[in-house]
Every structure is written in C-alpha cells, then in structure tokens.
Structure 1
Amino acid sequence: MTTEQLTNARLFRSLHTLAGPLALANAWDVASARVIEAAGAPAIATTSAGVAWSLGSPDGDALTRDQALELISRITAAVSVPVTADIEGGYGQDAADVAETITGVLAAGAVGVNIEDGTRPPAELAMRLTVARQTADREGADLFLNARIDTYLFGLGDPDTRLEETLSRARLYVDAGADGIFVPGVTDTTTIAALAKEISVPLNVMAGPGAPTVAELGTLGVARVSLGSGVAQAAYAAARSAAQELFDTGDYDSLTDGIAFPELNALLSERH
C-alpha cells in the first residue's frame, strides 16, 4: 500500500460514525466519480450494477475481474478521496480467485471493498472474507471489508425469521474478518434499529426515496448510507427522458438542468 492509500484507509475508517454517517452516492465511471467528489463527497463508492451497465453487461457477476479492476484503477487515479469498490462476490470460484481479486483491488488503489453473499451459503462468503483479510494482511494493507447480506434485498428465507438469520450471518462474517455489515433492502426503522443494536461493527444500509434521512438513520445506529445503483438509474432515466422528448415532441427542455459543458470538462481536466 502506498502512503497515500494508508492515509486514505485511515480516513475512510474514521468516516463511519453515528453522529454523521458516511453518505455514499455510488459512482460507475470516472465522470460520475468526479462529479460526486466535486459535490462534496468524503469518499467514493462504486456500484457494480452501474459499472456493468456502462460496459454493456447486466448486473450479477457478468463483469470480468479485469473489467472491474480497470474501472477501479481509473477512478482512484481521478479522485483524491478514498475509494471503496463493489466487487460483487469476489470475481471467482475459489479462494485463489478471491485472493487474486483483492490483490488487484489493492494495486488499483482502493481502500475498501463490498463483497456479497447473494444466494450463496453463508459459509461461502465467510471463506471469501477470511481469504480477503489474509490477502490484505500479507500485502500490509488496511482494507475495509464490508460484507453485504442479501436476505432482505432478495427476500431470502422465512420472513418471520429473516432478522435472526441476518444477524446470524452478520456474526459469522464479523468473525471471518468483516469490518462492516451492509444490509440493503431494509428501510423500516424498527428493523434497522434492531440490526444496529445487535451488530458489533458499523452498519451500512441502502437508501432511496421514502427511506429515512441520513441523520435519522444515524440516530437508529447506522454508520454508513449508500445509494447503490440509484444514481446511475437516475442518470439513465434522464437520458431516456431527453431522448423521448426529442423524438416525441421535438423539444429539448429536459436538457435545462444539465451540468454546463465547461464545468464538466474542467472536472475531467483537473487530475490530468
């Protein structure tokens, strides 16, 4: 790890607080990362879905490791704040694959990763977390491992026991080396508070329209709030609206709120 990475890694860890939860508007390319950084972001997180879409693939382990690492490298080179990368399930089938991915993430300059269980058995993600931690330790790296639990996002298991299943997975993943737990798909305050009370490491939730505000989530015990693929979805919705307006009415009013060309061009020139 470079001196800059170590500094960014320590800063990134310090940003996980209840008084002011780390708010992440996830980026999917260099331009979105620069725009988000210029808006005041203390850190940049990537969204694997947004990255996949921008490269012509669906979300869900369709990206190759090389595609993901190239994008991470481009973003870390373009911004000055810490970068944490969404690496889906780790891009591989076994421990050696996960180790290779983590080595590549560190070489690309990131200081954190999100790694998810999806529909895999919990023991599988626990193994991947252990390998990720061991790999980072061998590299002398301070890597923030954020373990994503998909019980609520995918509606896995019995709803009556989903909370306990989520907490059971959280304990397993923390024991395996996770520094944080990410539970997307839950926005009701009772469940969030219950998760925060029982999880011993920083809790990350995914927010969007209708969810509590960042400050409100902090009072519930949340230390990190992500927008996931939401910003990318909104950007693609803007592209669709502009196209539909052009084709349907021949008007251009939907372009009014676009970032001015000189401003956007300048953002992409500052780090080169």
Structure 2
Amino acid sequence: MTQADRARIFADLHTPGTPLVLYNCWDAGSGAAIEKGGAPALATGSWSVAAAQGYADGEALPLDTLLSIATRITSTCDVPVSLDFEGGYAVAPDALRANVAQVLQAGVIGINFEDRVVTGEGVHSVETQSDRIQAIRAAADDAGLPLFINARTDLFLQSAPEAHGTHLQEAITRGKAYADAGASGFFVPGLSDPKMITQVCDASALPVNVMCLDISADTAPLAELGVSRISFGPAPYRAALRALTAQAKQLYGKAG
C-alpha cells in the first residue's frame, strides 16, 4: 500500500456521526500497542511526543528528533499515521513548505497544524494562517500526496470556557477560510459545549475534530453532535505514566 493510499483511507475514516477515534501515541512503541488494540489509524500528540523525550511542548523538541520519531512510527505500524506538527516549525510560507516536505518523507499522511503563534502570543491572522495552509497544500501537491491537513484553531484553548461563545463566530469564519486555503479538517480543541460544537459542525464544510481528555469517556454523545474525529491529546500519555508510577511505587514500597 502506498503513502497516498493510506492518505485516502485516512480521509475516508472521517464521517460525521461515526467519527474516527484517535487514541494518541507518542513513539513507535505506543503506536504499535495502540494499533494492536484495533486502531484503524494513529495520530501523535505534540505534548506527549515532547514530554516522552524530556522536552516542553511548543516546538521545543528539535525538528530532526520529531522527524526521526515520525519515521520510526510509520516504519513500525501499518495503519495511516498523522503527525501533530504544531505550527510547522516556521512562520514564513517558504520555510514552512520546506519543513512539510521533510515531514512527508517521514511517511506520514496527515498533520495537525495550529494557528497559535507558537513562540509568541495569540493566534495568527486569518490571512496569515490561510497563506500558511496554502503553502502546506502546495508542498503536498508537489509530492503527489493528498495530505490530510487538520487545521486547528487555538481560540478556545486560549480562553476560559465561559468566554467561548464570544469566539464562536470567529472560529466558524476561520474554518471557512482554512477550507478555502486547502485544509482537509477543522480542529477545535478546548471546545466542549455541545451546542457550540453542533454549531461548528453545522457551519463547517470540513470534518470537525474535537478533543476529549477523559480516556474513560463514552464518545457516543460527541458522535451524536456530528463530529467526524475525536482525539485524546496528551491524556493517553498521562494515563500511561500514572500507571507506570503506581507500579514503581508498588515495587519500591512507597505509599501515597
């Protein structure tokens, strides 16, 4: 199966009402374990990938290290793999295009791409982020790959839940602009209000991705809202580390 075949399969898994559920991995070992559990596809989470290597989130993990990890995951696992690429390790479209070309060489078929200013504050303007998405799409076209660009807005992560309503229309506007620029999906992490999620889904021409941080949660209610993708972000990594710490405490006889 070719990389392009995997990309098409991955895109087809995004169905409103019967969403793709991604239990995020952070390296080849966790990816293989999740695949063994029945996952039809894999996706990394930037926080988890960085933490597993001793780095903070926010592109502190060197790009070469990220590419190496991505390559090991795609080499180890047979299912499609999407990479959390944060802000692309660049701001200017030309530099971003070059970085994405390297990501594609790692064998991934999709990326998360966020609109926050990674090394600054706030989010990029709609126009700036649209230009950046166009650059990514151009890099994918050059490679002959239907890359799934999961365009993420950080409007909700950067605001308190009680303020989410004031950002809803801007998020919808960004989703439409990102679709026009060549995005494949629209990611709204931090948004948890069912009515607002439904509004985003109804307004979006793209499949909508939401994030759930409770690994024991029933995903059916989210599916009923019309989302096409549910991801768990850093939650799987945190749960795995808590279990490991608990096992170590039992082994070494420490309480608490």
Fold similarity call, TM over 0.5: yes
User: Is 1:138 the counterpart of 2:136 in the alignment?
Assistant: no
User: Is 1:215 the counterpart of 2:213 in the alignment?
Assistant: no
The more displaced of 113-122 and 144-153 is: 113-122
The more displaced of 151-160 and 119-128 is: 151-160
Deviation at 1:100, TM superposition (A): 1.5
Match of 1:238 among 243, 246, 251: 243
Q: Is the 8 A contact 1:126 1:176 kept in 2?
A: yes
Deviation at 1:64, TM superposition (A): 2.0
Match in the other structure for 2:71? 73
Deviation by residue 1:38-88 (Cα, 9 ceiling, x = unmatched): 000000001111111111110112122211111111100000000111000
Deviation at 1:12, TM superposition (A): 0.5
Match of 1:23 among 21, 24, 31: 21
> Aligned AA for 1:167?
I
Paired residue total: 249
Deviation at 1:212, TM superposition (A): 6.6
TM-score (norm 2): 0.91
Q: CA RMSD in A?
A: 2.1
Match in the other structure for 2:129? 125
Secondary structure of 1:61's partner?
coil
User: Is 1:173 the counterpart of 2:183 in the alignment?
Assistant: no
Match in the other structure for 1:267? none
Q: Is the 8 A contact 1:43 1:82 kept in 2?
A: yes
**How far apart, CA to CA, are the structure 2 residues paired with 1:21 and 1:135?**
27
| Structure 1: runs of 5 or more not aligned | 252-272
Secondary structure of 1:141's partner?
coil
TM-score (norm 1): 0.86
Q: Is the 8 A contact 1:186 1:192 kept in 2?
A: yes
Q: Is the 8 A contact 2:215 2:236 kept in 1?
A: no
Output aligned runs, 1:11-90, within 5 Å: 11-90=9-88
The more displaced of 169-178 and 38-47 is: 169-178
Output aligned runs, 1:159-170, within 5 Å: 159-170=164-175
Calculate percent identity across the aligned residue pairs: 39
Deviation by residue 1:184-226 (Cα, 9 ceiling, x = unmatched): 1122211111111111110000013399732322221100000
User: Is 1:155 the counterpart of 2:159 in the alignment?
Assistant: yes
Deviation by residue 1:128-176 (Cα, 9 ceiling, x = unmatched): 1110001111111110110011111121895442111111111111111
Q: Over alpha carbons, which structure has the higher Rg?
A: 1
